[in-house]
Structure 1
Amino acid sequence: MEKRVIVFLVLSLAIIFGYEFVLKELGLAPLPAVTTTESPASPPATEAPPSAVQSKTDAAPSQAAVERAEDQAAQTPAPPPAGKPEAVEVFEVETNLYRATFTTRGAVLTGWELKQYRGASDGQQPVQLVRQGTKFPAPLTVSTDGPAAQELREGLYAVEKDFAALDAAHPTGHVTFRYDGGATGVRLEKRLTFHADSYLVDVALTQRGIDGSMTVVLGTNFGIVEWGDGFIGLIGSASLVDGKVEKDTPEQEAERKGHIEWAGLQDKYFLSVLIPKQTGTVHVRKEGDKLVSTSVRLPAPPSEGRVDLQLYAGPKEYDTLRSLQIGLEDTIDFGWFIFGSWGVVKAVAKPIFYVLRFLNEFTHNYGLTIILLTIGIKMLFVPLQYKSYKSMKQMQMIQPKVVAVQEKFKDDRDRLNKELIKLYRDHKVNPVGGCLPMVLQMPVFVALFNILYMTIDLRQAPFMLWIQDLSAQDPYYVLPIIMGVTMVIQQKITPTTMDPTQAKIMLMLPAFMTFLFINFPAGLVLYWLTNNTLTIMQQVVTDRFIFRNKPAAPEQADSSGKK
């Protein structure tokens, strides 16, 4: 019976995971939603003969048939109606920063490659922000609540482009899409303005004959390169409406009404946002597992009215986002602490982030920068750490007396507390003195942890030898293992008041931390390793040169304080 159950499970898994593969191999898998040929849409009955030929072209199952139909259309004496495009066009817009691909079917984006960033998988291909082969509406799709919604989404747009390339000599260029619905009276013009050295695109929508509000679709997972399971920061939707930042992706869908500063989609390092800067509604919808879409619904413009907005699609570069002055830099979550943002951590993180980049201008190696920054922070906290170490040392020396008092008054809790307080006062020992300095240092440690985990500056930044990407885990686990060893050494030389059983349990901590840090970015592990090494050096120096001539234990005194 058990064998049959196992066979059943194996076959079920094989069918589930092998189904899509078999379909692809047999050529039966569904094609991507965006193609370079016409979709099989039937034209109106009043079209001229050349359009009828084009309709046959739409229904053709092969490229050869498409080419034959186009040849026939070219030989037909009657020209197509004025302003009507004959076939789907796909073209690119290239700047110094990205390569964008558009189609005249709906006048939408089908690709957005960042030329200065490479994919994490192979490190060769540019990062692609547009999700490929999706069945959902593409970025910059314009729709409406009225009957013209389908023709605006699926119609063919005429296109005009007033530039060949964007560079220093020609920093700005325009692409204009025009849709003319003919008998329906619907007109829509999308005018996109590109800039050679900016990820920002100006979008102007001019309409006529459109009833109701207009919806501009940002897309599904546009800007989300790797969903991942982020330890810090939220992946998915993000918006700033009425001065309130919302980063939670809903279980199904959500509406956010008010003055929209921006609405976008983000992952750890990249994002895309629409910036309408007017009252409207942000629609966020969970389309599936790790699939989320965002769109902005704007009030209906007046007859032949115009709506202006902007599109940003690019990296989470702090200076770039901050220069837009709309709060997009807050998508870089420097303020994470335990279960959410913490203002103290965020306030500490930004100055440290500036220092990190300042040091890197001299080192040109973020690995060396992390080491130097850790040394600098360690030196700032030397007095606090000495105070903490001294307090732990004093507690260790009076520990036998603490144990004696606890044993003597174990049945009288009130008397026990009074005697312990008296013992600490007589020996001038603060029982929390070892923890308080660590609490004061915690915001700095957490802030630096957040910076090294979140900043795109470390993405694909090499250090040395086998560490060629400080934002990725160590491929050979060398740094995490060495870090675990330093934690063991640190535990051995740190004064403790724990009993032997507790001490043995605490020996498991280095092993746990090692397994945890195996999956962390190499830059984070390098910081933790450097900090542990400096702590060990400080404790050795303190023991040998500061506490060397001090007595091993304080003067003996009983619980009453008499010598």
Structure 2
Amino acid sequence: MEKRVIVFLIVSLAVIIGYDYLLKGMGLLPPSEPVQVATNPSPAAETGKPGGGAGDSAKSVSAAPVSSVNGVPASPGNATGAASEEQTVEVDTELFRAKFSNRGAVLKSWELKRYSAAVEQSSTPVQLVYSGGRFKGPLSLVTGDQSVTSDLGSALYQVTQDLSHLDSAHPVGHLTFRYHDSQKNVDVEKELTFHHGSYVVDIAIRTQGLTTPVDVTLGTNFGIVEWGEGFIGLMGSASLVDDKVLKETPDGEAERKGDVKWSAIQDKYFLSVLMPQKASAALAKKEGDKLVSAGVRFATPVNGATMAMQLYAGPKEYDTLKRLNVGLEDTIDFGWFVFGSWGLVKAVAKPIFYVLRFLYEFTHNYGVTIILLTMLIKLMFVPLQYKSYKSMKQMQVIQPKVLALQTKFKDDRERLNKELIKLYKDHRVNPVGGCLPMVLQMPVFVALFNILYMTIDLRQAPFMLWIKDLSVQDPYYVLPIVMGATMVIQQKITPTTMDPTQAKIMLFLPVFMTFLFVNFPAGLVLYWLTNNTLTITQQVVTERLFGKKWQVAAADADAVTGDEPKEQKSSGKRRNSPSE
């Protein structure tokens, strides 16, 4: 290893370790005190009616007193009827574990129990709440009155909860936060309803005394697990307004008015989204480098009216999102191609995606499934591949005549085109025949590429031996190197009309593709490697079965047009065609 790399690693490690200590030493980062976790309700409370309202078997959550949290005094300011200390309330379901703070009635943690942070950390669940944001936590309220917003964000709410653990016997649980300020005559009630076996939370917010529109926010980066510099897909905010999906994070702050179906923050595999009933706008804001927030805006609420919405925070599982019936499945962009999303690619991708999952039901290994799927697709295109190879072979045979015509009529473009058309017609050769089949296959290849790159199904899916996760790069670069070797072989056996200099230049293509695929997920490289191997096999078989026949047919065409080789003319002999 070079000395520069070693120095770089040492300096990087020193910066990572010493950064927090340096800030604390300079007084720029005040020490934080841990939040006390509330005690769970007694078993007697959980024996109440499952799915009952907040008043059924409700129990106030208590906790040990906390003098301050993150430097903010625990006193509720001028609010009355508020809790006396900060509390953390936990809701545990089959799919996730959520923790809420009564300071601001915001979400503090959302762990997905079925998804681990990394293969090496299988016991560490994925955390969707970002702790370093500049914005208030998820589900915080923002109004046009900054003093009211400050109070709502820092005050201690009263908390009631009927169930902290949901299962098949207790499928529905309620959590309610209440805040009252007698001086400003402001009342806020946030009621959250959780469901066993679902990532969806029903939210009802009722207010009194608010005189400006109310924003319900997702906070900062809620739903983003990793800011990957993806080759495909967008990381950041997204929304569906007036039946139009927008997946762009604004440079500053954006407000999309209209019929809001949802407003979300997403990464490649996960997302959080608010789905309001009657919101007036979807909000998105770029807070900094790789820091975004989103939310929905409600018109000035009528006293006692309910602002109703649903929260989904979980994986981008296609079937799960589709069942919500609000178009969230479109956050998985099956139609990506070059500079946009194409409907044709998306239309092709969805059936292939269904086939991929169908095959997986039998193989229980996505690596084997990718190989089988690639073989099926290759079989579908055997006739097109045959026509393509035949056309390239015929073009190779008549290439000397093409070069001769180009030399002869290099100063007469019109005459050259006429002679080339006549040459192609006499030899029954289609000059675009080698490219057209590839163009027809392109939507399928791009669709499969998108499926293997975008879907969460391949996340942490093992293949065999050293490939423990098909969604990340091969740790030992074996697959990309072998794939590059197959590209070289494929170039060598593919008929070409290029001159030797161009052919040598094209040999750099496998090298470029190898370096490009080094950083691609192993599942994509496996697909490309399998496709190359099948193409090589097909070309070898086609050459052995039909190669000589095509050469003889070309020679017969020369004889018919009077262009047979001199040695054949002098001997007066003519080669028989296969039909004779």
| TM alignment of 1:33-432, pairs within 5 A | 36=35, 58=67, 83-120=81-118, 122-124=120-122, 125-146=124-145, 147-432=147-432
1:145 partner letter: G
Q: Secondary structure at the match of 1:183?
A: coil
Distance in 1 between the 2:205 and 2:381 partners? 56
- Whether the 8 Å CA contact 1:33–1:135 is kept in 2: the answer is no
Structure 2 match to 1:51: none
Q: How many residues align?
A: 524
Distance in 2 between the 1:121 and 1:366 partners? 16
Distance in 2 between the 1:478 and 1:524 partners? 13
Q: Deviations over 1:272-300 (max 9, x none)?
A: 00111324122211100011111211012
Q: Which moved more, 1:451-460 or 1:274-283?
A: 274-283
Change (3 A) 1:59 1:203: closer
Change (3 A) 1:495 1:277: same
Distance in 2 between the 1:369 and 1:296 partners? 41
Structure 2 match to 1:540: 540
- Whether the 8 Å CA contact 2:31–2:70 is kept in 1: the answer is no
Q: Which moved more, 1:546-555 or 1:402-411?
A: 546-555
1:218 partner letter: L
Q: Which moved more, 1:122-131 or 1:342-351?
A: 122-131
1:86 partner letter: S
Distance in 2 between the 1:397 and 1:423 partners? 12
Q: Which moved more, 1:18-27 or 1:211-220?
A: 18-27
Structure 1 match to 2:555: 554
Shift of residue 15 of structure 1? Answer: 11
Structure 2 match to 1:78: none
- Whether the 8 Å CA contact 2:263–2:296 is kept in 1: the answer is yes
Change (3 A) 1:261 1:34: farther
Change (3 A) 1:27 1:462: farther
TM-score, normalization by structure 2: 0.85
Q: Secondary structure at the match of 1:166?
A: coil
Q: Secondary structure at the match of 1:309?
A: strand
Q: Secondary structure at the match of 1:197?
A: coil
Q: Deviations over 1:106-161 (max 9, x none)?
A: 00001111111111384331111110133321000012223422211111001011
Change (3 A) 1:33 1:132: farther
Q: Deviations over 1:358-383 (max 9, x none)?
A: 11011110001000000000000000
Q: Deviations over 1:329-363 (max 9, x none)?
A: 00000000110001100000000000000110111
Distance in 2 between the 1:34 and 1:508 partners? 58
Change (3 A) 1:394 1:356: same
Q: Deviations over 1:538-559 (max 9, x none)?
A: 0111111232455355247499
Structure 2 match to 1:75: none
Change (3 A) 1:333 1:207: same
- Whether the 8 Å CA contact 2:517–2:525 is kept in 1: the answer is yes
Structure 1 match to 2:482: 482
- Whether the 8 Å CA contact 2:163–2:174 is kept in 1: the answer is yes
1:120 partner letter: A
Tell me the percent identity. Answer: 63
Change (3 A) 1:282 1:270: same
Q: Secondary structure at the match of 1:96?
A: coil
Distance in 1 between the 2:303 and 2:180 partners? 15
- Whether the 8 Å CA contact 1:259–1:277 is kept in 2: the answer is no
TM-score, normalization by structure 1: 0.88
Change (3 A) 1:155 1:275: same
Aligned CA RMSD, in angstroms, stands at 2.9
2:261 partner letter: E
Q: Deviations over 1:492-546 (max 9, x none)?
A: 0000000000000000000000000000000000000000000000011111123
2:152 partner letter: L
Change (3 A) 1:132 1:60: closer
Change (3 A) 1:179 1:547: same
Structure 1 match to 2:52: none
- Whether the 8 Å CA contact 2:237–2:249 is kept in 1: the answer is yes
Shift of residue 259 of structure 1? Answer: 1.1
Unaligned runs of 5+ in 2: 1-10, 38-64, 565-580
2:29 partner letter: P
Distance in 1 between the 2:159 and 2:328 partners? 32
Q: Secondary structure at the match of 1:303?
A: coil
Distance in 1 between the 2:338 and 2:505 partners? 24
Q: Deviations over 1:233-270 (max 9, x none)?
A: 11100000111111111111111011110001000000
Change (3 A) 1:15 1:161: closer
2:474 partner letter: D
Q: Deviations over 1:290-341 (max 9, x none)?
A: 1111121101221222111110000000000000000000000000011000
2:139 partner letter: L
Q: Secondary structure at the match of 1:148?
A: helix
Q: Which moved more, 1:271-280 or 1:535-544?
A: 271-280
- Whether the 8 Å CA contact 1:37–1:87 is kept in 2: the answer is no
Q: Deviations over 1:67-114 (max 9, x none)?
A: xx99xxxxxxxxxx9843110001211111111111000000011111
- Whether the 8 Å CA contact 1:398–1:554 is kept in 2: the answer is no
- Whether the 8 Å CA contact 1:32–1:132 is kept in 2: the answer is no
- Whether the 8 Å CA contact 2:33–2:69 is kept in 1: the answer is no
Change (3 A) 1:14 1:458: closer
Distance in 2 between the 1:531 and 1:509 partners? 17
1:388 partner letter: S
Shift of residue 26 of structure 1? Answer: 4.6
Distance in 1 between the 2:183 and 2:254 partners? 36
Structure 1 match to 2:463: 463
Unaligned runs of 5+ in 1: 1-11, 39-55, 71-80
Asked whether 1:495 is paired with 2:530, we answer: no
Q: Secondary structure at the match of 1:278?
A: coil
- Whether the 8 Å CA contact 1:260–1:278 is kept in 2: the answer is yes
- Whether the 8 Å CA contact 1:37–1:58 is kept in 2: the answer is no
Structure 2 match to 1:5: none
Change (3 A) 1:239 1:537: same
Shift of residue 22 of structure 1? Answer: 3.9
Q: Secondary structure at the match of 1:115?
A: strand
- Whether the 8 Å CA contact 2:134–2:287 is kept in 1: the answer is no
Change (3 A) 1:355 1:216: same
